A and B are shown apart, each in its own frame.
Chain A
Amino acid sequence: EDQVTQSPEALRLQEGESSSLNCSYTVSGLRGLFWYRQDPGKGPEFLFTLYSAGEEKEKERLKATLTKKESFLHITAPKPEDSATYLCAVQALGTDKLIFGTGTRLQVFP
């Protein structure tokens, strides 16, 4: 069964303190891995798509990487406005549906 596990469940960082969020996955055949950001009471906001092991993508303070078993979202020198829940999802070959993890709730304090 296709599955996504994210860790940690919650993360508290001081402003400027870099860290990484983990997404472990099992999927019959990976079509794509997605990272989203979700603010309270809002829909998920698309961040990245990764397609194959070794691929990396960057956007401002965020960098996503992918291996055959997991993905990392690295946050460099975070700011309070980076506080949100970060969701990881996989899409298997032959389907369009996304299978999400439960997310990592990030809080960045000034």
Chain B
Amino acid sequence: DTGVSQDPRHKITKRGQNVTFRCDPISEHNRLYWYRQTLGQGPEFLTYFQNEAQLEKSRLLSDRFSAERPKGSFSTLEIQRTEQGDSAMYLCASSLVSGRAGEQYFGPGTRLTVT
């Protein structure tokens, strides 16, 4: 299967702990996106990369959140000092940049529960 993969699929952590998620995009895609989704809501944009450059970051994104894409391939999203409000599904997507709007293909998500 050559789709977007995410690891882990589920993470339970205690408040105050740090967590890190990984995303592997579709191999030929050069753009990678992170979104967050809570129950009953649509995905909310967090940040995106073109190759290794972080091009945009949501104003809503706390300083506790950081994302990297060091070699322009996989990406990691780290949340420091987790809070209960961070509990959500974290979704990764990838696309191939083009002149028109490029379809974003999503992975299965990482469900985070902060206790």
Q: Does A54 contact B (CB under 8 A)?
A: no
A32 & B42 in contact (Cβ 8 Å cutoff): no
Bound state CA distance, A46 and B108, in angstroms?
13
A15 CA / B92 CA spacing, docked (Å):
33
C-alpha spacing A5/B36, complex, angstroms: 18
Query: How many B residues touch A, CB cutoff 8 Å?
Result: 29
Q: Which one, A46, A99, A101, contacts B104 given CB within 8 A?
A: A46
Asked whether A75 is an interface residue with its Cβ less than 8 Å from the other chain, the reply is no
**CB-nearest residue of chain A relative to B50?**
A96
B67 to chain A minimum Cβ distance, whole angstroms, is: 14
Q: Indicate with 1 or 0, residue by residue over A1-25, a CB within 8 angstroms of chain B CB atoms.
A: 0001000000000000000000000
- New A-B pairs, 10, CB < 8 Å, besides A98-B104, A99-B45: A32-B101, A34-B103, A34-B104, A41-B109, A42-B109, A43-B107, A44-B106, A46-B105, A51-B101, A98-B35
Report, as a range, how many residues of chain A touch the other chain.
20 to 34
- Measured in the bound complex, the distance between the Cα atoms of B100 and A34 in whole Å is 12
Is A65 interfacial (CB-CB < 8 Å)? Answer: no
B-contacting residues of A (Cβ < 8 Å)?
Answer: 4, 31-32, 34, 36, 41-46, 49, 51, 87, 89, 91, 95-103
Measured between beta carbons, the chain A residues less than 8 angstroms from B4 are 43
Instruction: Write out the residue numbers on chain B whose beta carbons fall within 8 Å of the beta carbon of A49.
Output: 101, 103
Question: A51 with B100: in contact, given A44-B106, A97-B33 (CB under 8 Å)?
Answer: yes
Q: Which of B72-112 contact A (CB under 8 A)?
A: 91, 93, 95, 97, 100-109, 111
- Give every chain B residue within 8 A of A45 (Cβ-Cβ): 106
Question: B107 contacts A101, CB within 8 Å?
Answer: no
Contact B103 A46 (CB under 8 A): yes
Task: Give every chain B residue within 8 A of A97 (Cβ-Cβ).
Answer: 33, 45, 48, 56, 58
Which 8 pairs of residues, A with B, have the shortest CB-CB distance?
A32-B101, A100-B42, A43-B106, A97-B45, A31-B101, A44-B106, A91-B101, A43-B109
